[in-house]
Structure 1
Amino acid sequence: MNDKKITLISWILFGLLMVVGYKFLLLPYGSFLAIVIFLIFQKSVSLYQEKYQEKQRTIKLQEIAITMGLDFYKKGDEQIVPIVQDMQVFQGIKPVMKNLLNDFRVSFCTLARIFLPLIGLNILFELNMSGKVFSGIETRKIRNIFKGKKQEVLVMICDFYTKETKFPITKKTEFTSADADPTVSVNVSVTKSSQTVIVFVSENLHLPEFSLTKTNKIGKSLGHSQSQPQFSKLYNLQAREQIYYQQIFSERIRAFYEAEQNLCTEAKGDRLICYRANTIIQPQEMQSFLETGFRALELFKEKTQEIASAYTTPSASRDDSNDFSSARRINYTKLQDLLQAGKWKEADQETTAIMLYILSIEEDGSAIEGAFDTESMTKFPCTDLHTIDQLWMKYSQGRFGFSVQKEIWQNLGGQPDKYHWKETIAVNRITWQFMGRVGWSKFSLLRKYDKLIFTLDAPPGHLPVLWGEWTIGGYAAPLDRWKLFSRMETCAKQFSS
């Protein structure tokens, strides 16, 4: 049965319902019963059409999956949810029973929307204000799952549906005598989104956490370089570390995404997700869409391998009097050259990139999520932290380096090995004093990163800033620098023992 036949039958039944509904109008509450029957009929036809189309799509996709050499699951959240539940696009995935309960809540609230003006229950307004009944109801479902290995990469493809229904209830300030209950007004708002999503999992990926989405027409794209207007016009990039934009999104990758125009992407560690915003891929286009996803995967894989090679390629130290050792086999030659040449700004950015790379890999080389958060900093290799600090200390004649910063912070009353969340106010007070002392703020106002002093004339401890993580909107704002100092304190105890 095709869509045209379903529509024709719907109109025929609708006509019959109107004839029967006329009889209802002659009965007590006839108009009310007619409305209820009509709404039930309308909802039933809508659900039937939706289920019929879903069934036809599932049949076609099952055939496509066989030709693509992938396993197919009509449902089965357990196949994909454990892998993607912490990814932004899949946030809030509901279990099957939760979705059913939410569907029931939507039906209940829809009927209440009819009853409310008729029976005048003001208590429902009060319940809405407390968020117990008429708060936003979300349904998130995964359907039609492809799963298998292609080119030594775990591939999963699925249809992801989201629906949010809201029933805002407000009190009227103006009303007419025709209103059964002049104090209450009920509306309904439904927001739907559906897209076909590809998930890649590869041990060869070492990707930072980022989300690349289609830019809203009325919004302003954030996180992009002003030198890339076309890319910024099409996409909005959100990344925990700003420096990753320059590292990962090379000219070749940007050109690929500009040509695609609507290929949203999310990454974290060994996982890469691709989808076209609000687009369900047709069965006959599934193979082509997978090939597009693989092109994106290969571009990111090549770039991450290039970055890894730049940081880990074995190279003899140019200064044999120093042992620049590393627990992650990091090559510090480039950082050493920049510091020796007095290129302090480039050296600061290189230091940030190296530290983020170290935080993104385990000791065995496996990929993890890398970020300057408290948990990650407590695991930063002491050997590498010492090496980076010594490089800065040596080539700045003791003016710059983490050790210099730590000493200034402690002289202001900071105790890096004792603070926790309960001392947030004390930490922030000392940190603001610290930022003023090292020249990152002036008159309690943060300096822009480009306005910092990248010469030896800068105040002691002015560098490194660690550009990208501890900057907000281009301003230097290392409010969590004490986490790094705390790790240094731990490492000092390990070295002395």
Structure 2
Amino acid sequence: MKALPFFLVIALIAAIGCGIVYLVKKRRQDLELVARQLKLDFFPKGDESIAPMVSNLEFFMYGERCDVSNLMRGQVKRNGKPVTVAIFDYSYTICKHRSTEFSFNEDSVSIESNSDTETFCQTVLVFYDESIDLPGFSLRPEHLWDKLANFAGYEDINLDRFPAFSKGYRLLSNQVDDIRDLFQPNLIKFYENNKICTEAIGPYLLVFPFPPKHQSSSLTMGDKTFTKSQYVQPKDVKPYLDLSLKLLNLLEKNMSAVRQ
């Protein structure tokens, strides 16, 4: 098989680059339209105003070269009351392995650093609702690497009444008793039907989609598994927002029942 002529290779690379630029621009334009429809402010390159929201969630404490784009920010109504929401595309890089090699020559020392990294990209929704106070927890799909992590001492919370749920999900929290009270049958059914990852603490709730079926969690480090996912398509942002608000309602309902 003959190699492609050099000019064809350059043309192919240029065509791929132009295609990527077009898709990025098209997504930004479509999401800006969605933001207007939802009456949310739009920041194509993100905005530092969301720092207080993301700084309280462990999800955003890991990774390098973190980037926020296509940020939609403002307030939506939940049960007639305003709730602050931020919806944005988020990418970050995890270093799986890093090594440094030293080469000693007669008059000098050469240092070469190598790293094995992987980048994750997701559309996330973050809520701030001062009317609720959720126990801290994270929930996502459970995979083989998680089971190996359990043997290393990073055990998730298994709910004996819901073995299928416990088998398919990894639920972590330092407030085990509160979490067992919170996860009632209505909440279990919601997660089984809708397949969304969640992190919560106090008035903050983070939601993002499960990875597609053909993907799996690709990296587990200690008690942390970094889950590949995909961007939410512009047409699906409103339904996903409504679904996430439904989850917030369920969490509030169960918390109220526990306190009574």
Tell me, yes or no, whether TM beats 0.5: yes
C-alpha distance in 1, partners of 2:99/2:18?
Answer: 28
Q: Secondary structure at the match of 2:131?
A: coil
Equivalence map 1:93-492=2 (5 Å): 138-151=64-77, 152-164=82-94, 168=99, 189-220=116-147, 222-261=156-195, 263-277=196-210, 278-308=229-259, 310=260
1:16 has 2:3 as partner: no
Q: Which amino acid aligns with 1:250?
A: Q
- Whose RCO is larger (CA < 8 A, sep 6+)? 2
Compute the displacement of 1:188 (Å).
5.6
Q: Deviations over 1:22-59 (max 9, x none)?
A: xxxxxxxxxxxxxxxx8xx96x8776554443222111
Look up the match of 1:86: 56
Structure showing the higher strand proportion among its residues: 2
Unmatched 5+ residue regions in structure 2? 103-110, 148-154, 211-228
**d(CA) in 2 for partners of 1:92, 1:17:** 41
Matched, 1:69 2:69: no
1:63 deviates by: 0.7
- How far does residue 92 in structure 1 lie from its aligned partner after superposition? 4.3
> Counterpart amino acid of 2:135?
P
Superposed CA RMSD in Å reads 3.1
Q: Which AA in structure 1 matches 2:141?
A: K
Distance 1:186 1:50, change over 3 A: farther
More moved, 50-59 vs 270-279? 50-59
Structure-2 separation of matches of 1:288 and 1:300: 19
Give the C-alpha shift of residue 185 in structure 1.
9.5
- Cα distance in structure 1, aligned partners of 2:17 and 2:60: 25
Q: Which amino acid aligns with 1:276?
A: P
Amino acid at match of 1:192: T
Counterpart Cα distance in 2 of 1:296 and 1:157? 16
For residues 215 and 232 of structure 1, the distance between their equivalents in structure 2, rounded to whole angstroms, comes to 9
Q: Which amino acid in structure 1 is aligned with residue 205 of structure 2?
A: L
Kindly indicate whether the alpha-carbon contact (under 8 Å) linking 2:42 and 2:71 is maintained by their aligned counterparts in 1. Answer: yes
2:142 & 2:163 partners in 1: Cα distance?
12
What per-residue deviation string (whole Å, max 9, x for no partner) do you get for residues 397-438 of structure 1? Answer: xxxxxxxxxxxxxxxxxxxxxxxxxxxxxxxxxxxxxxxxxx
Q: Per-residue displacement from partner, 1:163-194 (whole Å, max 9, x unpaired)?
A: 235664568xxxxxxxxxxxx99866331111
Count of aligned positions: 221
**Cα contact 1:209–1:239 (8 A) shared by 2:** yes
d(CA) in 1 for partners of 2:19 and 2:29? Answer: 16
What SS does structure 2 have at the residue aligned with 1:301? helix
Conservation of the 8 A alpha-carbon contact between 2:71 and 2:87:
yes
SS at match of 1:307: helix
From the two aligned structures, give the one with the greater helix fraction: 1
- TM-score, structure 2 as length reference: 0.74
Q: Cα deviation per residue 1:179-228 (whole Å; 9 max; x = unaligned)?
A: xxxxx998663311111111111122111111112212342272112332
Conserved 8 A contact 2:66-2:92? yes
The 8 Å contact of residues 53 and 126 in structure 2, kept in 1 or not, is answered as no
Q: Matched residues in 1 for 2:30 and 2:190: separation?
A: 30
For 2:220, the equivalent position in structure 1 comes to: none
| Structure 1 SS opposite 2:130 | coil
For structure 1, list consecutive stretches of 5 or more residues without a partner in the other structure.
1-10, 19-37, 94-137, 172-183, 311-497
Q: Distance in 1 between matches of 2:42 and 2:163?
A: 41
Change (3 A) 1:158 1:260: same
- Please say if residues 266 and 272 of structure 1, whose CA atoms lie closer than 8 Å, have aligned partners that are also in contact: yes
User: For the residues of structure 2 that align with 1:211 and 1:253, how far apart are their CA atoms?
Assistant: 14
Distance 1:15 1:75, change over 3 A: same
Q: Secondary structure at the match of 1:80?
A: helix
Q: Is the 8 A contact 1:203 1:270 kept in 2?
A: yes
For the 8 Å contact 1:230–1:258, the answer to whether it is kept is no
Q: Are the equivalent residues in 2 in contact too, given 1:160–1:195 (CA < 8 A)? A: yes
